[in-house]
A and B are shown apart, each in its own frame.
Chain A
């Protein structure tokens, strides 16, 4: 176990022991280690790298350190900057998990139900990857989550760049219970008044967050960006159903043309996504 204090030291430590595994909050990694499913040859602890535990501003964007904990992101000062990410962080689990689990860890684990992921997808966040020799490269978060681009051995997620939109953002999540739980479906929705856009991502229903691009464009065209941004309830409902149908499409009809109904559990998931998307848009525009 090494405990580097800068990002470049951490990258160097990983280069020195190629079998080493980086660990930040450890909320995903250590449960596998404790269960005996994973036995890393060495660990590189990221908890002492102070440069990735806060955030800074960079021309209209925030550069979030990958070591930000969910607890930190849930606080009001952060919520004023990026409300949806703060809401996702507060919903991410019980306090013990939120105190330890980090933004970078959530991205690196890339669990389908990772709560920050749909928010980052809706914000079109970009990852700043630290590599050997002090190099930095950028990957859009969606490329990493879709597997289009991967982290090379020895690379670490250093920062996450997200735009500061100065407009309402909503994150909503459905779970099976009242207490903290894994999302069965989640929706992140952000307004971008400067670009007159609505961006939405649906989490937990697929291996990566899904973006209903056509539904976003359709609803952005309905909104009166210069006046009252509200929409009639029918439009909100139609948006919810548009999003749900885009993310959970019908089966194609059978060869003889008969419709292939979705199983009841999938229909319920679609109804849940529709309700979440409708509520999210309604709250963002209210």
Chain B
């Protein structure tokens, strides 16, 4: 926080504590363009790196000749698989990925070699001068072919198989609906492309300055590859330019450190947009086959499903994504009998990994399409059918886990259903109409149909299946300033703001700062599944409470009362009756108070051979009603409005919560309509932001946050549930449902292609 803002007059009127809309401390620097991101890093005498990537999806490497590259003036080092001193393979969950391909390349864009040179152009030219002789092999790009295909990797092509069996396999309903669904490859498309700087240390170690979202995980991966101890590698987190997934791609950050160690000089790399698309993990393209059984009243009897996740060339976190997909395959509905078979398989497509709501998004689009089909077959209103089956606290998931957290599914759905519908454009002046196709588009009012559809979604909170979801935080108070030290990375999710609010609330100190993150701090884990709101927020609260006790203990002793009877507010400490009081400054008496605490939620267990087990710490739910306009001749879709009701446990920062929901819903609109990284024959097409269409301000609908249900989750710190992922998961299903209603077409593929949104009578 700048001095300017802390010293501002009327500072006591600033938002303060939990429940306030405290703005982010970085907001000014970010909006003024002075916030330092990884691409702004600089070091004296630095070299520039470039990575040579495979142009083929599948090929055998016959030979690699680096002599021409090494001989180029200005080139300081060229490294290949032969130069990796440590373990040759790495990976987030499973170590199956080589730092540099040695004998085989398994996907387009796989790293083969890296160069450090005096100038970025020299580095790129030298990388291009490396002569690699390939024997091009047939790529396996259809995940259905992966089962039969020869193994693409020594670990085989099956990354995980979960056969979930729950209830009576013979159960049958009077009404049966079936469907086959396909979900495309969404890219996290971070607005700031990957960048980093590696600086060698005199002790033989290396420091990596990167926008990591999992600094300790990245440090351990790097140390293993370099053959160093974790203490010899330090990851320093720089400004993160947006992250809705695991940021920073191992295929450039690992070579960066290797080159720094090789040359004993700092080495920097800034990825181009194309390298960014080729390097990082994507959302799993998924094929889903469903059969829903219901009785004549529309009560679900049984769900059978087969779910096939395309993991791409390497395992990454696909096993976790599959667990989420299988566990939430029936959605937030009561399903007494479920038989879900899920596979994550290896192909020669670009690797898939953690992208917000992985696994849950794909199944949500499919089970909601099934609910629409069922409603149509039964002649029941789609919202009514969903209400009849809505999950509630105390119900049992298909994994056998009892839902113990708040699950206000029916309340959420009721809220969006009862919210007034937006007006039709015919009631407004014609020049104000925004038709499908945009302001200068071809939209013709006579060809536009409006549709309304519903989506209900759910996600897990925190890592599942026995992952140790622990975080550690330290709170220091000195000289009227509180400092939080916690390795939870601020990715834009608002953790640092939340940490400041927690300390303000607990200690009554307004000036709270959050220290920059590096791996000298104790681990806080990766930024995913809302874990920092829960475990890091919880650790900060505990540490702040310990500091509070240290501060108040001597006073309480002096006043002859327990610390609970003392309050801290506006820099003053007051007894419960207001009789005794002193200032915080006086109580501190120039001391420095420190406390460190951990937060670890209750343990979970892996899914067993039948896909059964208490695998999840918590869950969050969301209901969205989508209103779309479709030009049924051209098939262009405009999402007019999304009405959102969400289960948030407790609102910690209203402004930040709204922003997170709006951002999540919009990312879901992208997945529903435009975002699909196409890879014909395994080769990434159009790796740029013209070909890969992210939603713009005109594509983003009106987002109405109709209801935020505050039913506290008793096991979560503050009772709060992380809010970012579940709107991403739910909005594609809702948009698809609305397009279905507008066109009468089945809409069984995301993103929705224009030819699939042409009216049924014209198609």
Contact = CB atoms under 8 A, between A and B. Distances in A.
B635 interface: yes
Contacts of B447: 275
A23 B635 CA distance: 37
B437 A174 contact: yes
B580 interface: no
B31 to A, nearest CB: 18
B437 A175 contact: yes
B699 A182 contact: no
Given A36-B121, A264-B755, A271-B633, A178 B638 contact: yes
Contacts of B402: none
Contacts of A91: 438, 440-441
B317 interface: no
B693 interface: yes
A94 B689 CA distance: 13
Nearest to A274: B633
B440 A178 contact: no
B681 interface: no
A179 B698 CA distance: 5
Nearest to A282: B444
Contacts of B636: 174-178
A190 to B, nearest CB: 16
A36 B272 contact: yes
Given A36-B121, A272-B634, A176 B755 contact: no
Contacts of A177: 438, 636, 673-674, 693, 695-696, 698-699
A90 B440 contact: yes
A276 interface: yes
Interface residues on A, range: 20 to 34
A268 interface: yes
Contact of A271 (B674, B699, B758): B758
Contacts of A36: 121, 124, 272
Given A179-B438, A180-B698, A268 B755 contact: yes
Given A36-B272, A174-B634, A272-B634, A87 B440 contact: yes
A35 B696 contact: no
B695 A179 contact: yes
A178 B698 contact: yes
B424 interface: no
Interface in A178-200: 178-182, 184
Interface in A118-163: none
Contact of B754 (A176, A178, A182): A176
A166 interface: no
Nearest to A276: B442
B579 to A, nearest CB: 63
Contacts of B342: none
A178 B444 contact: no
Contacts of B34: none
Given A36-B124, A174-B634, A275-B634, A179 B442 contact: no
Contacts of B690: 182
Nearest to B442: A172
Contact of A268 (B693, B698, B758): B758
Given A36-B121, A271-B633, A176 B674 contact: yes
B332 interface: no
Interface string A258-269: 000000110110
B273 interface: yes
Given A91-B441, A174-B754, 11 more contacts: A35-B272, A174-B437, A174-B442, A174-B634, A177-B674, A178-B438, A178-B696, A179-B697, A181-B438, A275-B633, A279-B444
Interface of A: 35-36, 39, 87, 90-91, 94, 172-182, 184, 264-265, 267-268, 271-272, 275-276, 279
Interface of B: 121, 124, 272-274, 434, 436-442, 444, 447, 633-636, 638, 673-674, 690, 693, 695-699, 753-755, 758, 762
5 contacts: A90-B440, A173-B440, A179-B699, A271-B762, A272-B633
